[in-house]
Amino acid sequence: MSTSQIIVVGGGAAGFFAAITAAEMGAKVRLLEKSGRFLEKVRISGGGRCNVTHACPDIRAMAGNYPRGSRAVLGPFHQFSMTDTVEWFGRRGVRLKTERDGRMFPESNTSETIVACLLGSARDAGVELFANTEVASLDAVHGGGYRLGISGIKGETVSLEANRVLLATGGCRSASQGLLAAKLGHALIPPVPSLFTFIIESGWLRSLSGISLEDVEVVAGDLGLRQRGPILITHWGLSGPVVLKMSAWGARDLHAVNYRFTVRLNWMPGKPLDDILGEIQHRRQSAGNKLVSQIPIAPVPLRLWENLVMAAGLNRDARWSGITRNQIHALGMQLTRSEFPVAGKSLNKDEFVTCGGIKLGEVNLQTMESKVSPGLFFAGELLDIDGITGGFNFQAAWTTGYIAGRAMASS
Ligand X SMILES: Cc1cc2nc3c(=O)[nH]c(=O)nc-3n(C[C@H](O)[C@H](O)[C@H](O)COP(=O)(O)OP(=O)(O)OC[C@H]3O[C@@H](n4cnc5c(N)ncnc54)[C@H](O)[C@@H]3O)c2cc1C
Looking at 203-268, which runs of residues are DSSP E strands?
212-220, 225-233, 237-239, 261-266
Query: Which residue, 217 or 351, is less far from ligand X as judged by CB?
Result: 351
Query: Which residue, 80 or 352, is less far from ligand X as judged by CB?
Result: 352
Query: Which residue, 24 or 351, is less far from ligand X as judged by CB?
Result: 351
Q: Is 41 in the site for ligand X (CB under 6 A)?
A: yes
CA 238/CA 345 separation, integer angstroms: 10
Closest approach of ligand X to the CB of residue 191, in Å: 13
- The residue type of 100 is R
Closest approach of ligand X to the CB of residue 78, in Å: 20
Burial class (CB in 10 A: 0-12, 13-18, 19+), 2: middle
- How far, rounded to the nearest angstrom, does the alpha carbon of residue 374 sit from its chain's CA centroid? 30
Residues in 50-89 at the binding interface with ligand X, rule: CB under 6 A: 50-51
Residues in 99-118 at the binding interface with ligand X, rule: CB under 6 A: none
Question: What residues pair up with 164 in beta bridges, in sequence order?
Answer: 6
Query: Which residue, 50 or 308, is less far from ligand X as judged by CB?
Result: 50
Phi-psi map region of 389: left, alpha, beta (phi>0 left; psi -120 to 50 alpha): beta
Work out which of 4, 307, 393, 399 binds ligand X, going by CB under 6 A. 393
Q: Provide the Cα torsion 200, 202, 207, 212; round to 10°.
A: -40
Which of the stretches 30-38, 119-127, 185-193, 362-370 binds ligand X when contact is defined by CB under 6 A?
30-38
Work out which of 135, 233, 243, 251 binds ligand X, going by CB under 6 A. 135
Which of the stretches 139-147, 244-252, 257-265, 385-393 binds ligand X when contact is defined by CB under 6 A?
385-393
Q: Is 12 in the site for ligand X (CB under 6 A)?
A: yes
Closest approach of ligand X to the CB of residue 404, in Å: 11
| Sign of the torsion formed by the C-alpha atoms of 406, 408, 189 and 259 | positive
Residue 212's alpha-carbon distances to 209, 241, 292, 304, in angstroms, are: 9, 11, 22, 10
Query: Which residue, 168 or 233, is less far from ligand X as judged by CB?
Result: 168
Question: With contact defined as beta carbons under 8 Å apart, do 92 and 84 qualify?
Answer: no
| Residues counted in the chain | 411
Work out which of 89, 381, 388, 405 binds ligand X, going by CB under 6 A. 381
Q: Is 397 in the site for ligand X (CB under 6 A)?
A: yes
Peptide bond preceding 299 in cis form (omega within 30 of 0) = yes
Residue 120's alpha-carbon distances to 162, 297, 388, 394, 395, in angstroms, are: 24, 55, 29, 19, 20
Closest approach of ligand X to the CB of residue 55, in Å: 13
Residue 118's alpha-carbon distances to 39, 124, 382, 410, in angstroms, are: 9, 10, 20, 22
Query: Which residue, 35 or 315, is less far from ligand X as judged by CB?
Result: 35
Question: With contact defined as beta carbons under 8 Å apart, do 379 and 368 qualify?
Answer: yes
Closest approach of ligand X to the CB of residue 365, in Å: 16
Q: Is 403 in the site for ligand X (CB under 6 A)?
A: no
Work out which of 229, 332, 380, 405 binds ligand X, going by CB under 6 A. 380
Closest approach of ligand X to the CB of residue 36, in Å: 10
Query: Which residue, 82 or 225, is less far from ligand X as judged by CB?
Result: 82
**x-or-dash pattern for ligand X, window 152-181, by CB under 6 A?**
----------------xxx-----------
Q: Is 351 in the site for ligand X (CB under 6 A)?
A: yes
Number of chain positions touching ligand X (CB under 6 A): 35
CA 351/CA 309 separation, integer angstroms: 35
Closest approach of ligand X to the CB of residue 279, in Å: 40
Work out which of 84, 134, 139, 215 binds ligand X, going by CB under 6 A. 134
Those residues with Cβ within 8 angstroms of residue 393's Cβ, 6 or more apart along the chain or in another chain = 351, 353, 381, 386, 387
Residues lying near ligand X in the complex (CB under 6 A): 9-15, 32-35, 40-41, 44-46, 50-51, 134-135, 168-170, 350-353, 380-382, 391-394, 397
